[in-house]
Amino acid sequence: MAKYVLENCFAVLAFLLAMKTKARTTTMSGEVIRCKAAVAREAGKPLVIEEVEVAPPQKMEVRLKILFTSLCHTDVYFWEAKGQNPLFPRILGHEAGGIVESVGEGVTELKPGDKVLPVFTGECGECRHCKSEDSNMCDLLRINTDRGVMINDGKTRFSKDGQPIYHFLGTSTFSEYTVVHSGCVAKINPDAPLDKVCVLSCGISTGMGATLNVAKPKKGMSVAIFGLGAVGLAAAEGARIAGASRIIGIDLNASRANEAKKFGVTEFVNPKDHDKPIQEVIAAMTDGGVDRSVECTGNVKAMISAFECVHDGWGVAVLVGVPNKDDEFKTLPINFLNERTLKGTFFGNYKPRTDIPGVVEKYMKKELEVEKFITHHVGFSEINKAFDYMLKGESLRCIIQMDA
């Protein structure tokens, strides 16, 4: 009897809660949600906050309520669409944290209310890449910068007045609600503060993983980091954690030198201060070259320098920056014959679903600090300010609060 009463109480409570939610906005699963999104309508023009419709999640998809998002330089490249293919109107954004609102058919590992980080590359769990310990390049869900639709039906889940609005990197987090493939969602510790750990959904994990998982410096090695934005500074943090003896930061902006000290950078080099190619300057500083280098600029000249500045015999260079689509990497083959290695990585080789919950745990256990990467905060209505901060080089990461 007591059990019966209790169950009824819950049923009534659930009903009342559902009614309340419905009265406020339409957030019932299976229905279209109307919400605010920042739409990129034209290349390089300010995003426009508009009311859009977000369709329910389909097979293997989930709909997320985004609470915090931040801006990564990759968003800016595709918004400018100078060196990348233009695709508009589009909802950008890929570094974020949120809560599962509803799940589509076949989704068993996520449920409404789960705290999650969406990721721009996915993990289906079944392909050769997902089964390989060495790869995070899932056959089904790997990063695809030109695709603006969901893979289930080749259509968008966003629309306005019946007109489609394209997705970006399968995440489109500059919207109060978004639909993401469930394989691109990392379920994290429910106690993790999303306004902090949202930066682990791209930049910080990418930089740290590029060093720890790909460059893999041994204790006492020297590491050069090209580009001291959030990704590069996270790569420096990885070098510090690995016990590097020297961490040489390279950036065209002299003011980045001071900031970089907080991230373990021991020496700073500005290519503008030298007449020689920067790889020669670094070789002279390090008796023939650094042991490891990590490139985090997106500039192809810096990529070539990052490769050519590693020591022959054992040096390893890792490319992280996203180049323009027509950029070509040129170097002399002898640089390889002399036993230098060139690698590249997406998302620091982390598998989003398998590995990212553990990276969040590192933050929870205070082994990893993310606060120092967060330099600015804005409300969603002022999202264009976050673009200004990044374009002027003022910010590392600017947190955008969706309900402000």
Ligand X SMILES: *[C@@H]1O[C@H](CO)[C@@H](O)[C@H](O)[C@H]1NC(C)=O
Residues lying near ligand NAD in the complex (CB under 6 A): 72-74, 202-203, 206, 226-232, 250-253, 256, 271, 296-299, 301-302, 320-322, 345-347, 393
**Unique residue bearing structure tokens 């002299």:** 254
Among 119, 27, 47, smallest CA distance to 88 is for: 47
Please state the closest distance from residue 19 (CB atom) to ligand X, in A.
Answer: 49
User: Strand pairing partners for 341?
Assistant: 316
Task: Tell me whether the omega of the peptide bond preceding residue 352 falls within 30 degrees of 0, making it cis.
Answer: no
Give all strands of the β-sheet with 292-295 in edge-to-edge order.
267-269, 246-250, 222-226, 292-295, 316-319, 341-344
Annotation marks residue 74 as catalytic = yes
Interface pick for Zn ion out of 38, 100, 119, 130 (rule CB under 5 A): 130
Interface pick for ligand X out of 259, 295, 308, 355 (rule CB under 6 A): 259
User: Strand pairing partners for 359?
Assistant: none
Catalytic residue selected from 35, 130, 198, 309? 130
How many other CB atoms are there within 10 angstroms of residue 353's CB atom? 23
Using the minimum distance from each CB to ligand NAD, give the nearer residue, 54 or 224: 224
CA 262 to chain centre: 22
Interface pick for Zn ion out of 138, 204, 244, 302 (rule CB under 5 A): 138
Residues in the chain: 404
In the bound complex, which residue of the shown chain has the CB atom lying closest to ligand X? Answer: 393
Which option in ligand NAD, ligand X, Zn ion, none does residue 170 bind, with CB closer than 5 to 8 A by kind?
A: none
Using the minimum distance from each CB to ligand X, give the nearer residue, 365 or 392: 392
Among 250, 244, 246, 247, smallest CA distance to 216 is for: 244
d(CA 225, CA 306): 8
Interface pick for ligand X out of 63, 256, 311, 340 (rule CB under 6 A): 256
Using the minimum distance from each CB to ligand X, give the nearer residue, 129 or 385: 385
Distances from the Cα of 182 to the Cα of 93, 249, 381, angstroms? 17, 37, 28
Give all strands of the β-sheet with 33-39 in edge-to-edge order.
33-39, 48-54, 158-160, 163-165
Annotation marks residue 397 as catalytic = yes
Q: What is residue 129's three-state secondary structure?
A: helix
Rg (CA), the chain: 22
Using the minimum distance from each CB to Zn ion, give the nearer residue, 74 or 349: 74
Binding mask 212-251 for ligand X (x = CB under 6 A): ----------------------------------------
**42 touches ligand X (CB under 6 A):** no
Please state the closest distance from residue 256 (CB atom) to ligand X, in A.
Answer: 5
Please state the closest distance from residue 345 (CB atom) to Zn ion, in A.
Answer: 13
**202 touches Zn ion (CB under 5 A):** yes
Interface pick for ligand X out of 132, 144, 255, 381 (rule CB under 6 A): 255
Tell me the two tokens of residue 90. 């589009």
Residues that bind Zn ion (CB under 5 A): 72, 74, 124, 127, 130, 138, 202
Q: Catalytic residue numbers?
A: 72-74, 94-95, 124, 127, 130, 138, 142, 202, 397
